Structure 1
């Protein structure tokens, strides 16, 4: 059974550290995913599978929210630039979608592994 409290706390850790990690792009988000997944797995306990699952959920939610923020930022920039900016951001939307999906998958997988480690430490 999923411990949603552990997933939510892990998600909050991923989100907060992800914003702080913007100062060091890439590495900051990597650390945020690892720490958030570890926290979710540690709180959930119950073995490697449970930690993996809870870390995966926390990282996935963090990746989705991060992707939505990137999409909104590109949309606002497109609106600010007028019709030409709208066309450019619309054309860039496909590339941004692929980038966001990639970031979400990477963040989910790293959080899942960290969650399994967190659950193992808790056991």
Structure 2
């Protein structure tokens, strides 16, 4: 059974550290995803499979929300440029979807690996 509290806390940790990582060099997005996945796996406990699952969910939630924010930003920019901008942002939408999926997969996999480590530490 999924511990949604652990997933949400892991997501929040990754989000906050990701924002700090934008301002403070050296922390970066990779470390934020790893720590968020670790926290989700540690909180969920229950073995390595559970840590993998909870870290995966925490990381993919961050990737999905990040992709949505990029999509909304491009859509609003396209609307501001009028009909030609709408056509351009519509054509760019396919590339943005592919980019968002790739980022979501990377964030989910790194968080899942860290979730396994978190569950192993707790066990």
- Is the TM-score greater than 0.5? yes
Residue of structure 1 in register with 2:4 after alignment: 4
Pairing 1:79–2:74 present:
no
Residue of structure 2 in register with 1:90 after alignment: 90
TM-score normalised over the length of structure 1: 0.92
CA deviations over 1:36-76 (Å, ceiling 9, x no partner): 10010011111111100100011111110010001011111
CA RMSD of aligned residues (A): 1.6
Displacement after TM superposition at 1:79 (Å) = 1.2
Residue of structure 1 in register with 2:32 after alignment: 32
* 3-state DSSP of counterpart to 1:10: helix
TM-score normalised over the length of structure 2: 0.92
Displacement after TM superposition at 1:20 (Å) = 2.9
Tell me whether 91-100 or 78-87 shows the greater mean CA deviation.
Answer: 78-87
Gaps of at least 5 residues in structure 2 are: none
Q: Distance in 1 between matches of 2:81 and 2:23?
A: 26
Displacement after TM superposition at 1:23 (Å) = 4.1
Displacement after TM superposition at 1:113 (Å) = 0.2
Displacement after TM superposition at 1:87 (Å) = 1.0
Displacement after TM superposition at 1:89 (Å) = 0.7
